[in-house]
Amino acid sequence: MGAGDNGKAHVACGAFPGGEGGKENEEPKGNPGFEGNEGPKGSAEPKGDAETKGSAGPKGNVYVLVHGFAQRGDSWDDVASFLRSCGGTVYAPWLMDLVEPVSEDNGLRTVAQRLLDYCAFVAQKHEKKPVVVGYSMGGRIALEAACLACGVQTGALPSARVQPSDIPFSALVLESAGLGPAVDEDRNRLRERNSAWAKLVHEQGVGAFMEWWETLPLFASQQNQPAAKREAQRRQRMHNSAKDIALQLTVWGQHHQSSRETTLAALNWLEDTGVPVSYFAGELDEKYCRAAACVQQNVSRATVKLFPGCGHNVHWEDPRAYADALLAIFDAPVHDASSPNVNLL
């Protein structure tokens, strides 16, 4: 369902308090759990983890799945499996690999540009632009990439020099992703919070920090998942060093994101030029349901979906429903009728 009509007055979207979680084209190495990997690297061509297993005929879509904070590409395994079974080709790069090494000089806009480079590589390889799907931090990076791709500047319309053909992806799906600070006070608050969290992980270590992280109200619904599944998620997170986690907070944090006015302008430009925009959130995630409503009210023709019984990490909590939602938009759903319904705002 479209989020609105052209010409609809924009409405104010208040601050969303709290946290988000609270390597010529080289064949890259992949993350654990991925086979048949291909992708770009480094400052010009990113190296990433690509899942290309399964049928990938001319009718199948190509997806680039962008992981969240303290995750890796294998956090998308279940969704990738469903998409592959429907003929899709799935790439899931490890973001830390795209900008290796991560440092103060490789900030949010750098990783966003590397993501665009990655998408361009994938598009060239398959002669088909990929659908970009970003979760939480990955969604913010994808959104920043969209701002760069369309040349939007703070408080201004996208650059007239940019043509739709310049955009290296065919569609953008944001899952539980922040839309950027609405006002300077929000940006300052987020900077202070992220600095405090980075200090905490250095002081307590990754294990203790992740134990605390999992207790944030934002992740309450994940306690309903099987213990083995939650333990596997923790093992994925423990692949990160304290330095890497701290840098993700301070260098790629929400306080570096373009303003909400800017990101909404970019999303509208994408829609107006034929690049579909979707926003996914779990019904139990109040904070990002508000972000979903903001997209619905301010981005003409955007598709907004809420997933029943899910919290912040929809694709992890209910990968089948998530894959069905993607297929419903970009292909045709093929899963059985027992899959949970997806509500459209």
pLDDT in tens, 109-151: 999 999 999 999 999 999 999 999 999 999 999 999 999 998 8
Whether the Cβ atoms of residue 133 and residue 178 lie closer than 8 Å to each other: no
d(CA 331, CA 181): 34
**312: which 2 tokens?**
């912040």
Q: How far is CA 210 from the centre of its chain?
A: 20
Query: Quick count: other Cβ atoms within 10 Å of Cβ 154?
Result: 11
* pLDDT > 90 fraction of the chain, expressed in percent and rounded: 61
d(C-alpha 10, C-alpha 16), whole Å: 17
Average pLDDT over residues 174-182: 97
**What's 151's DSSP letter?**
T
Residues 240, 265 contacting (CB under 8 angstroms): no
Q: How many residues does the chain have?
A: 345
CATH superfamily ID and name for 50-184+256-344: Alpha/Beta hydrolase fold, catalytic domain (3.40.50.1820)
Q: Which of 116, 113, 149 lies closest to 132 in space, CA to CA?
A: 116
Q: 271-317 pLDDT, tens per residue?
A: 998 999 999 999 999 999 999 999 999 998 999 999 999 999 999 99
Confidence check: pLDDT of 28 > 90: no
- Rounded to the nearest integer, the mean pLDDT of the chain is 80
Structure tokens at 27: 């064949």
How many angstroms separate the most distant Cα atoms in the chain? 52
Residue 15 banded pLDDT, cuts 50, 70, 90: very low
CB atoms under 10 Å from CB of 268, counted, come to 23
Percent of the chain with pLDDT over 70: 76
Q: What is the DSSP letter of 299?
A: S
Mean pLDDT of 186-191: 96
Crossing angle for the helix pair 137-149 and 260-272, to the nearest 10 degrees: 70
CA distance 45 to 122: 11
Q: CB–CB of 155/180 below 8 Å?
A: no
- For range 219-223, the mean pLDDT: 90
pLDDT band at 154 (very low <50, low <70, confident <90, very high): low
Query: CA 319 from chain center: how many Å?
Result: 15
How far, in Å, CA of 133 to CA of 257, rounded?
Answer: 18
Q: What's the burial of 273, exposed, middle or buried (CB within 10 Å: 0-12/13-18/19+)?
A: middle
Domain ranges of the chain: 50-184+256-344
What is the chain's percent helix, strand, coil content, to nearest 5? 45, 10, 45
C-beta separation of 9 from 206 below 8 A: no
Residues 6+ apart with CB under 8 A from 163: none
Encoded tokens for 181:
């600070």
